[in-house]
Amino acid sequence: MLKFLGSGSAFNAKRGNTSGYMEFAGELFLFDAGNDVFGKLMKLNLLEKKARVNIFITHLHSDHVGSLGTIIDYLYFKVYKQDMSNICVYFPSEAIADLLAMQGVPRDHYNLFVNKWDELYLPTLGRKQPEYAFYETGHTANLDYEGHTNTYSIEFMLENEFSFFYSGDTAEYHEKLQNIYLYDQIYHEVTMMENSDVHMSYERLLEKTSHLSKEERSRFHLMHLEEEFDIERAKVDGFQIVENIEIM
Ligand SMILES: [Zn+2]
Ligand SMILES: [Zn+2]
């Protein structure tokens, strides 16, 4: 369902910053916008001729949000000619507006949606509309502010059409994943580091999915991969590996 501009961990420059996207109903849906994402969006012309651009952010690490200010500025000045109506950012904390403000991107250049759950309204669709939900989930205490973790996994679905779970960065196996049949695809971050309390260690993911058949496990698409991640092992265990879309 999602295509990926990048699928690497923060320091994996080869795979680039993990970022998924979908073009749907004339709109762009982008999941995370890390440091190297703007250039790829430009090369693929993904910001042009969209009725609306929707950017979902999982957390404020720069490998997930580093391009956001530039993307908003480009959309505001070059694409939509100083009209903010179709530039939409989704993140459940006003903190993202503070970050953008310090980068010189004022609040009246984009719409910020801080709801943890909502239904979208895509004019070309009928009564049935996509819904999203942000689930707070543990990552690193360095991102804990406003008295909570401020790191999220995202669920995105259109009833009877598609549904997926996008983990963002987290060491937690979210309780929603107890029922993998809720989702067509589960995009999950993973690390080869053992017992990480910041990222999902591969061993923990194996253990949490040990009751699943290989076919069921293939709903998991692993992303945010380190250079040394053992792809062949993960494939043998039944997981799918996120690969980047080809960019000329
Ligand atoms: Zn990351
Ligand atoms: Zn992170």
pLDDT per residue as tens digits for the range 136-167 = 999 999 998 888 889 999 999 999 999 999 99
- pLDDT, position 218: 97
Q: What is the dihedral of CA 202, 205, 207, 210, to 10 degrees?
A: -120
User: Collapsing DSSP states into helix, strand and coil, what is residue 221?
Assistant: strand
Q: Which residues of 128-148 are buried (b: 16+ CB within 10 A; e: fewer)?
A: eebebbbbbbbbbeebeeeee
Average pLDDT for 77-89:
98
Closest ligand to Cα 32: 1
Assess whether pLDDT exceeds 90 at residue 126.
no
Assess whether pLDDT exceeds 90 at residue 210.
yes
Residue 57 CA, ligand 1 centroid: distance in Å: 11
Pairing of strands 111-113, 131-136: unpaired
Alpha helices, H only, the chain = 37-43, 62-65, 68-74, 95-102, 202-208, 214-217, 231-236
Structure tokens at 37: 């994402």
Residue 90: is it exposed, middle or buried by C-beta count within 10 angstroms (0-12/13-18/19+)?
A: buried
Residue 169 CA, ligand 2 centroid: distance in Å: 5
Closest ligand to Cα 137: 2
Radius of gyration of the chain measured on its C-alpha atoms:
17
Residue 64 CA, ligand 1 centroid: distance in Å: 6
**Domain positions in the chain:** 3-241
Report the phi/psi class of residue 25: left, alpha or beta, with left for phi > 0 and alpha for psi in -120 to 50: left
- pLDDT, position 226: 98
Model confidence pLDDT, tens digit, residues 42-55? 999 999 999 999 99
Residue 124 CA, ligand 2 centroid: distance in Å: 35
Assess whether pLDDT exceeds 90 at residue 72.
yes
Residue 17 CA, ligand 2 centroid: distance in Å: 11
Residue 218 CA, ligand 2 centroid: distance in Å: 24
- pLDDT, position 146: 87
Residue 127 CA, ligand 1 centroid: distance in Å: 36
Rounded CA-CA distance 155/140 in Å is 21
Instruction: Return the percentage of the chain with pLDDT > 90, whole number.
Output: 95
pTM of the predicted protein model: 0.97
- pLDDT, position 145: 85
Adjacency order of strands within the sheet including 240-241? 117-119, 131-136, 152-158, 162-166, 185-189, 220-223, 240-241
- pLDDT, position 104: 97
Rounded CA-CA distance 103/100 in Å is 5
Question: Which residues neighbour ligand 2 (ion) by CB within 5 Å?
Answer: 61, 169
Homologous superfamily, domain 3-241: Ribonuclease Z/Hydroxyacylglutathione hydrolase-like (3.60.15.10)
